[in-house]
Amino acid sequence: MLLENRVAIITGGTKGMGKAMALKFAKEGADVVVTSRHLDEAQQVAKEIEKLGRGALGLKADISKSAEVNDMAAQTIKKFKKIDILVNNAGGVDVKGGDTTDATEADWDHILDVNLKGCFLCCMAVVPYMKKQRYGKIINLSSMGAVHPAVSVLHYHAAKAGVIGLTINLAFELAPQNIYCNCIVPGPIETPFWDSLQAPGPARDKFFAELCKKEVPLGRMGTPEDIAGPALFLASGLSDYVSGQTIYVAGGQPLNAQAATFLSAPK
């Protein structure tokens, strides 16, 4: 039980990578707080965690709002008395476009709020508790587009690059308090993230197959469980001499053997 007696908060923990991490952590002994913008979804995942024999709490939280984030931390402390692990997983792109022809100031502000400001607010909410106990593990989720973009999505990629910078600064500042901060950069992971871009079905399956053939050395799409394993490593004592690191969980990306890009894969 790598996380026995640990308490973890996972933002955006109701589907895809977040849910996979929540269940993985619970199976390894952690009590888990799951947040979402939709309370019913968060509570449903909490019930799944409780069926695994662990404590759980499902909370509604918009991570771009400091009051809701601070309440998230306060409710966790009230129920579990401590916070050992924070996974900043919530985020995404819910606007169209994003290159220099159609990116807007409003979209920029919104996407940075959700993907960078939210990560900052969550860290600021939990770090005081971690400092008091002189222990903590923070895992931030970035994006391959932050370091190796295949399409232009200015606001999202800038935000996710900022997450890497935030991770490095926190790791440097908090190391004397025995608080670790690392970043995971997922590659192409098959999650509901893709649903807004292309509906599930044969056409998307063909697109994924071509994408992986051209761009992923391992030749397949990743799964949420592929992210949960490295996250478990970073959350557990196995990584007690690892901080300030960016880990690519991307099937070999960005070490592309070919010059093909996302745009070259047939849609």
Give helix 16-27 / helix 39-51 axis angle, nearest 10°: 30
On whether the CB atoms of residues 25 and 13 are closer than 8 A, the answer is no
Residue bearing tokens 């809701």: 68
Catalytic residue status for 129: no
Q: Which of 156, 180, 241, 248 is catalytic?
A: 156
β-strand pairing of 31-36 with 179-186: unpaired
Q: What is the dihedral of CA 108, 114, 120, 124, to 10 degrees?
A: 140
Q: Which of 56, 17, 4 is nearest to 143 (CA)?
A: 17
Largest Cα–Cα distance of the chain, in whole Å?
A: 53
Residues contacting 202, CB < 8 A, separation 6+: none
Beta strands in 27-102 (DSSP E): 31-36, 56-60, 85-88
Backbone angles phi, psi at 31, to 5 degrees: -85, 140
Helix, strand, coil percentages, rounded to 5, for the chain: 50, 15, 35
Q: Which residues are catalytic?
A: 156
